[in-house]
Amino acid sequence: MSAPTKRLYIKTYGCQMNVYDSERMADVLAPLGYGMTDEPEGADLVVLNTCHIREKATEKVYSELGYIKQMKQARAEAGASMTVVVAGCVAQAEGEQIMIRQQAVDLVVGPQAYHQLPELIARTHRKRGERLAADFAADEKFDALPVERNPTGVTAFLTVQEGCDKFCTFCVVPYTRGGEWSRPVETILAEARDLAAKGVREITLLGQNVNAYAGEGGLAGLARRLAKIEGLDRIRYTTSHPADMGDDLIAAHAELPQLMPYLHLPVQAGSDKILKAMNRAHTAESYLRLVEKIRAARPDIAMAGDFIVGFPGERDADFEATLQLVREVGYAGAFSFKYSRRPGTPASALPGQVADEVKEERLARLNALLDEQQRAFNASQAGKVLPVLFERPGRHPGQLSGRSPYLQAVHVDGPDRLIGQIVPVRIEAGSKMSLAGVLEMETA
Ligand code: SAH
Ligand code: SF4
Ligand code: F3S
């Protein structure tokens, strides 16, 4: 490929699916002469890949667009141009409104239309195109994206499933990403083989409900086939819904050494009344039984979760039930959020909206408990020898940074040549965010 002639800046918000999509946008734009840049200043094309999940996430996008507008004007005064594209879930949810609210935006493109970007941008430049592309044809997108990837490291994301049919009453995803749709096994395997051939050792399979993957053999079947790919030593997947955590997938955790012992399985709340109002399709009890079953198959598995505090109608006793569930599970990591009222979702119209001070206070208490559990889990690794996949140089000279099987960041002193290798590390200490250790071969 010839050297890039134009500069592309992509800013990514939200979930890992957006990270994957941003890489794919760069892939489809590269043949048109676009090379990536780290700064929006001086960029010919700016793409904001946005998230609509909570109000704050959406507002960040509009404030960023304010800065971009000034840069675009400065560039115009200097006789150059800047094309501004809004992609992702805000694009899908707010469409035309974005262009009304921010005139600097040239094009709004939803998550299923990225394969059309080259054409849409060319049309925008001729001032003849639609400024909005937001439909839900996921199959066309994946068929049209190139199989070839340009991985930048030894780990990579790979989207296998998109969209959601669960309709949790608080959530915008079923509206921004459309219905559940799975890529065929063969295209996923082809992409994974290409990544492995380019030095990728760990793949994280992505889906809004990744364990609802409906291609042949389901997610367990897919994992078994991926495990056969030479060089692919680690397989992860995220995010899973408890309702789709089938026996076959649980069995795969006992059977496949490549399937890493870390599971992100959001529960959201511990009160059955709230879970029902959320339309979560599980109870606290059924979730706890599920965790037990998973641990029976893979006793060392690290559990992670998502939590929402202050859902409409949540009383003190309901919140206590969440704390109780957290105590019973014992999480290795978690994400917790204050309920955010999203326009158009059923929960936004429910009575009993909770005051912000109450949400704040509950979030602080929940986080204190989750932090304590995370710290205890990390500290419990001290003295063990863990296989660590080194991903990059660490922050200090002579340091390496990698991940344990449990997704913990691990820092050791060691030579750069170990990047891309899985090496035994003797863990000396664990703090809230990471583990510190020494290379086992040097102590031996
Ligand atoms: N599909 C994934 C989650 C996608 S959104 C799943 O079901 O697990 C990621 C997390 O954002 C959710 O798990 C939830 O905890 C949180 N979230 C979604 N909508 C929210 C809202 N309206 N307010 C606060 N948190 C929300
Ligand atoms: Fe949203 Fe629920 Fe679907 Fe997850 S399962 S994306 S929280 S609707
Ligand atoms: Fe956000 Fe869309 Fe992901 S709303 S969390 S970017 S699916």
What CATH code is carried by the domain that includes residue 254?
Answer: 3.30.750.210
Range of the domain at 390: 385-439
Q: Measured in angstroms, how far is the CA atom of residue 18 from the centroid of ligand 1?
A: 15
Report DSSP letters for 33-69, one per residue: TEEE-S-STT-SEEEEEE--SSHHHHHHHHHHHHHHH
Tell me, yes or no, whether 292 lies in a domain: yes
281 and 242: one domain?
no
pLDDT value of position 429? 97
134 and 158: one domain?
no
Q: Which of 89, 172, 173, 239 to mutate to test the pocket of ligand 2 (most atoms within 8 A of CB)?
A: 173
Tell me, yes or no, whether 245 lies in a domain: yes
Beta bridge partners of 234: 202
Of 260, 281, 315, the residue at which a domain comes to its end is 260
Q: In this structure, are residues 315 and 269 in contact, taking their beta carbons and an 8 Å threshold? A: no
Q: Can you tell me whether residue 382 is helix, strand or coil?
A: coil
255 and 281: one domain?
no
364 and 391: one domain?
no
For the Cβ of 309 lying below 6 angstroms from any atom of ligand 3, the answer is: no
For the Cβ of 284 lying below 6 angstroms from any atom of ligand 2, the answer is: no
**Rounded CA gap, 117 and 119, in Å?**
5
Q: In this structure, are residues 270 and 326 in contact, taking their beta carbons and an 8 Å threshold? A: yes
Residue 209's nearest CA partner among 251, 178, 188 is 178
Atom in ligand 1 nearest the alpha carbon of residue 347: 22
pTM of this structure: 0.94
Q: In this structure, are residues 37 and 47 in contact, taking their beta carbons and an 8 Å threshold? A: no
Outline where DSSP puts E strands in 97-162: 107-109, 132-133, 155-159, 161-162
91 and 135: one domain?
yes
Per-10-residue mean pLDDT of the chain, 444 residues long, equals 86 96 94 94 96 95 95 93 95 91 93 90 75 70 78 93 96 94 96 96 97 97 98 97 97 98 98 98 98 98 98 98 98 98 96 98 98 98 98 94 98 96 97 95 56
pLDDT value of position 216? 95
126 and 16: one domain?
yes
Reading the block at residue 65, the tokens are 């667009």
118 and 164: one domain?
no
390 and 344: one domain?
no
For the Cβ of 176 lying below 6 angstroms from any atom of ligand 3, the answer is: yes
Tell me, yes or no, whether 444 lies in a domain: no
Of 209, 229, 260, the residue at which a domain comes to its end is 260
pLDDT value of position 106? 93
Q: Measured in angstroms, how far is the CA atom of residue 349 from the centroid of ligand 2?
A: 18
Tell me, yes or no, whether 268 lies in a domain: no
Q: Tell me how far CA of residue 41 lies from CA of 25, 32, 37, 71, 388, in angstroms.
A: 19, 20, 9, 6, 38
pLDDT value of position 337? 98
For the Cβ of 241 lying below 6 angstroms from any atom of ligand 2, the answer is: yes
Tell me, yes or no, whether 266 lies in a domain: no
For the Cβ of 347 lying below 6 angstroms from any atom of ligand 2, the answer is: no
Atom in ligand 2 nearest the alpha carbon of residue 171: 1
- Helix/strand/coil (H/E/C) assignment for every residue in 421-443: CEEEEEEEEECCCEEEEEEHHHH
Among protein residues, the one with the nearest Cα to ligand 2's atom 2 is 168
Query: What backbone phi and psi angles, to 5 degrees, belong to 72?
Result: -65, -40
Residue 274's nearest CA partner among 229, 338, 318 is 318
Q: Look up the CATH number of the domain holding residue 15.
A: 3.40.50.12160
Residue 255's nearest CA partner among 231, 224, 233 is 224
For the Cβ of 15 lying below 6 angstroms from any atom of ligand 3, the answer is: yes
- As to burial, measured by CB atoms within 10 angstroms (0-12 exposed, 13-18 middle, 19+ buried), residue 417 is exposed
Tell me, yes or no, whether 1 lies in a domain: no
Tell me, yes or no, whether 297 lies in a domain: yes
How many domains are there within the chain? Answer: 4
Q: Measured in angstroms, how far is the CA atom of residue 15 from the centroid of ligand 3?
A: 5
For the Cβ of 52 lying below 6 angstroms from any atom of ligand 3, the answer is: yes
The count of C-alpha atoms lying within 13 angstroms of the C-alpha of 20, restricted to the half-sphere facing its C-beta, is 23
Beta bridge partners of 86: 48, 108
CA angle 102, 107, 113 (to 5 degrees): 135
Among protein residues, the one with the nearest Cα to ligand 1's atom 13 is 306
Quote the distance between the C-alpha of residue 228 and its chain's center. 25
pLDDT value of position 442? 57
158 and 135: one domain?
no
Atom in ligand 3 nearest the alpha carbon of residue 208: 7
> Any idea which ligand is nearest the CA of 22?
3
Atom in ligand 1 nearest the alpha carbon of residue 172: 19
Of 110, 139, 168, the residue at which a domain comes to its end is 139
Tell me, yes or no, whether 265 lies in a domain: no
Q: Measured in angstroms, how far is the CA atom of residue 188 from the centroid of ligand 1?
A: 26
Q: Measured in angstroms, how far is the CA atom of residue 173 from the centroid of ligand 3?
A: 6
pLDDT value of position 148? 80
Among protein residues, the one with the nearest Cα to ligand 1's atom 24 is 339
Q: Look up the CATH number of the domain holding residue 299.
A: 3.30.750.200
Atom in ligand 3 nearest the alpha carbon of residue 93: 4
For the Cβ of 306 lying below 6 angstroms from any atom of ligand 1, the answer is: yes
109 and 157: one domain?
no
> Any idea which ligand is nearest the CA of 13?
3
DSSP assignment letter at 353:
P
Q: Look up the CATH number of the domain holding residue 419.
A: 2.40.50.140
301 and 188: one domain?
no
pLDDT value of position 352? 97
Residue type, 64: E
